Structure 1
Amino acid sequence: MERYADDAFVLSTVDYGESDRLVTLLTREHGKLTAFAAGARKSKRRFAGALEPFMRLRVQLVETRGSTVRIDSADIVAGFYAAREDLSLIARALYAVELCRELTREHEPHPELFELVEGYLHRLDAKEAGPTSLLAFELAALAQAGLMPRFDSCALCGGLPGERPRFDQGHGGAVCEPCGGRARDSVPVPVALLAGLRSLQEGQRTPLPADLRARARGLLNVFIAHHVGRKLKSVDFMAQVGLD
């Protein structure tokens, strides 16, 4: 059995048996891992609250049979406790880690995505991440996963989207009006929305107006659900909290 240490974020947890827990981690060097934490629910001392979603840890891991590893120990590096006191920040943080879980495969390192999550959670914890920053995070995460939607040109013909653009998740983004007939699931979108999303892709951080932000939120929800095969659970939680 090989033992190693790595930096990790807790993406999600599932109770297993009477006292154990399965923990999905995003590690810096080994990518997404499913880790078995023996006695995690029974012993309050061993993991001491470390195995909670969006905790930043230093973990000691042991390879076992198959694709599962065992967590020997976990030390909290950053708990983001200020964010955990605000329901809206909790909702955004849970969405961020669920998105990372669905965009990644087991044992495929994504160090840039790890850094992206770390930066976003620190900004949430410092109350420096406004609503538009979540859209910027999503677009950056999609880019890391090779699923960047196109907003600057038609995804079908490569031409300019025009004055009456549409958006089609199945074809990867914006489509011009003539090509819209070939994209059965396309929906009309404002030119200003495509421009705003494109600026976020390019690294600009100009806040979007509330109406465009809500439309952008809906477009990305549909796009992500199409590519990962389901709607993310935390989308509903954000809606319950009242986030666009």
Structure 2
Amino acid sequence: MQWQEEAIVLGVKRHGETSVIAEVMTRERGRHMGLVRGGRSRTMQPVLQPGNLVDVTWRARLDEHLGEFRIEPIRQRAARLMESAVALYGVQTMAALLRLLPERDPHPHLYEALDIILDHLDDPAGAGELFIRFELAVLNDLGFGLDLTECAATGRRDRLTFVSPKSGRAVSEEAGRPYAERMLVLPAFLGPERQETASPEELEAAFRLTGFFLHRHVYDPRGIEMPSAREGFREAAIKAARERP
């Protein structure tokens, strides 16, 4: 068995004295693992940093085997990603989100979104908006997608200001006002009437929104904690939004 594809490095773990098991995200084969012989060498260590775009050739006798990777660099952006808290936390958090999905399950749109976000992590405020959309996409692929396009009560597509914590559907200002204390806020940049950039308050509300449904549908049922890196990313992204001219 053999295939070759571009991939984004998510992480590595030691295997023996000189090798590592690399975890990558591919467009057609999803999140995939493979043994890299000599992966701890001075030549390979810079290549196998999270966020780097690489060319991967995977070989194994049978499809269900771990297999071996041969990896060549395409775009080494890890050094740039390590320069800011937003980028560093962002890479870690997105990798953790992708680990919620079954291994080798293809999610091409998530691969493409990951690649785009990694190229924009040097714009912390903008990266926050992209990251929220990434979380929404992961929720959708896990079967817990939110419907933010029309009011659950009236069907209208304008003045959507709330999200029902029960249904995960948008609610208009008029319909949701009597129950506002029990509703989640729908930031304007996620609604049909989106604006150019999100304010710090809207980013805060967006992180609260996706975090609520990730806890309810994913982390709590699995008995696992939300990655601490997400909080670091949230704080850094909102701080950058507050400092934006």
TM (norm. structure 1) is: 0.74
**Percent identity at matched positions?**
21
Cα offset, 1:232, TM superposition: 3.0
- 1:62 touches 1:69 (CA, 8 Å); kept in 2? yes
Q: Distance in 2 between matches of 1:115 and 1:163?
A: 29
Cα offset, 1:129, TM superposition: 3.5
Q: Distance in 2 between matches of 1:218 and 1:107?
A: 30
Cα offset, 1:61, TM superposition: 1.1
Please point out which of 203, 224, 227 is paired with 1:232: 227
Tell me the equivalent position of 2:90: 92
1:82 is paired with a residue of what secondary structure?
A: helix
Aligned ranges for residues 119-198 of structure 1 at < 5 Å? 119-125=116-122, 129-143=126-140, 146-153=143-150, 165=162, 167-168=164-165, 171-174=167-170, 187-190=182-185, 193-198=186-191
Q: Kindly provide the CA deviation profile for residues 71-105 of structure 1, in whole angstroms up to 9, marking residues without a partner as x.
A: 1x211111223333222222223323332332x32
For structure 1, which runs of at least 5 residues remain unmatched after alignment? 181-185
Q: Kindly provide the CA deviation profile for residues 44-66 of structure 1, in whole angstroms up to 9, marking residues without a partner as x.
A: 23x24222212111012112553
Residues 1:165 and 1:172: Cα distance change in structure 2 (over 3 Å): closer
Residues 1:125 and 1:64: Cα distance change in structure 2 (over 3 Å): farther
Tell me the equivalent position of 1:69: 67
1:243 is paired with a residue of what secondary structure?
A: helix
Q: Distance in 2 between matches of 1:76 and 1:223?
A: 37
- 1:12 touches 1:52 (CA, 8 Å); kept in 2? yes
1:171 is paired with a residue of what secondary structure?
A: coil
Q: Distance in 2 between matches of 1:236 and 1:64?
A: 42
Give the aligned residue type for 2:215: A
Q: Distance in 2 between matches of 1:68 and 1:148?
A: 31
Q: Distance in 2 between matches of 1:226 and 1:69?
A: 35
Q: Distance in 1 between matches of 2:30 and 2:125?
A: 27
1:25 is paired with a residue of what secondary structure?
A: strand
Q: Distance in 2 between matches of 1:214 and 1:128?
A: 12
1:207 to 2:197 alignment: yes
Q: Distance in 1 between matches of 2:3 and 2:33?
A: 15
Tell me the equivalent position of 1:183: none
Name the count of aligned residue pairs: 226
Residues 1:238 and 1:150: Cα distance change in structure 2 (over 3 Å): same
RMSD: 3.5
- 1:225 touches 1:232 (CA, 8 Å); kept in 2? no
